[in-house]
Amino acid sequence: MHVTFSDKELAFRDEVRAFFRDEMPEGIAKKQRQGVPLDRDDYIRFQKALYEKGWFGYNWPVEYGGTGWSVVQKFIFLTEMAQADAPVIIPFGLGMVGPVIYTFGTEEQKQRFLPDILASNVWWCQGYSEPGSGSDLASLKTRADRAGDYYIVNGTKTWTTLGQHADWIFCLVRTSTEVARRQEGISFLLIDMKTPGISVTPIITIEGDHEINEIHFEDVKVPVENLVGEEGKGWTYGKVLLEHERTGTAGVARTKYRLQKLREQAGRAIRGATPLSNDRNFMRKLAATEVELKALEFTELRTLAAVASGKAPGPESSILKFKGTELQQATDELYVEAAGYYALPYVPDQYVLDFPDADRVGEGAETKSSLRYFNFRKASIYGGSNEIQKNIVAKHVLGL
Ligand SMILES: Cc1cc2nc3c(=O)[nH]c(=O)nc-3n(C[C@H](O)[C@H](O)[C@H](O)COP(=O)(O)OP(=O)(O)OC[C@H]3O[C@@H](n4cnc5c(N)ncnc54)[C@H](O)[C@@H]3O)c2cc1C
Judge if the beta carbon of residue 91 lies within 6 A of ligand 1.
no
First to last CA, the chain: 28
Strand partners of residue 145:
152
The Cα–Cα gap between 121 and 107 comes to: 20
Mean pLDDT for 28-51 is: 90
The Cα–Cα gap between 372 and 346 comes to: 11
CATH topology assigned to domain 250-397: Butyryl-CoA Dehydrogenase, subunit A; domain 3 (1.20.140)
| Residue range 250-303, pLDDT digits in tens | 899 999 999 999 999 899 887 778 899 999 999 999 999 999 999 999 888 888
Closest atom of ligand 1 relative to the 386 alpha carbon:
47
Judge if the beta carbon of residue 380 lies within 6 A of ligand 1.
no
Domain ranges of the chain: 7-89, 124-232, 250-397
Is residue 205 a contact partner of residue 162, using CB atoms and an 8 Å limit? no
Q: Output the CA 130–ligand 1 centroid distance in Å.
A: 10
Q: Output the CA 200–ligand 1 centroid distance in Å.
A: 20
Q: Output the CA 310–ligand 1 centroid distance in Å.
A: 29
* DSSP, residue by residue, 70-102: -HHHHHHHHHHHHHTTPPPPPHIIIIIIHHHHH
Q: What does the CA dihedral 360, 344, 329, 47 come to, rounded to 10 degrees?
A: -30
Mutating to test ligand 1, I would choose from 171, 203, 381 the residue with most ligand atoms within 8 A of its C-beta, which is 381
Indicate the CATH number for domain 7-89. Answer: 1.10.540.10
Q: Give burial (CB, 10 Å; 0-12/13-18/19+) of 50.
A: buried
The Cα–Cα gap between 78 and 252 comes to: 9
Nearest to 382 by CA among 245, 259, 275: 245
Indicate the CATH number for domain 124-232. Answer: 2.40.110.10
Q: Give burial (CB, 10 Å; 0-12/13-18/19+) of 316.
A: buried
More confident position, 1 or 120 = 120
Which range has the worst mean pLDDT, 92-101, 102-111, 149-158, 238-247?
A: 238-247
The Cα–Cα gap between 273 and 278 comes to: 11
Q: Output the CA 26–ligand 1 centroid distance in Å.
A: 37
Q: Is 194 a residue whose pLDDT tops 60? A: yes
pLDDT-above-90 percentage for the chain:
70
The Cα–Cα gap between 242 and 205 comes to: 23
**Which pTM value belongs to this model?**
0.92
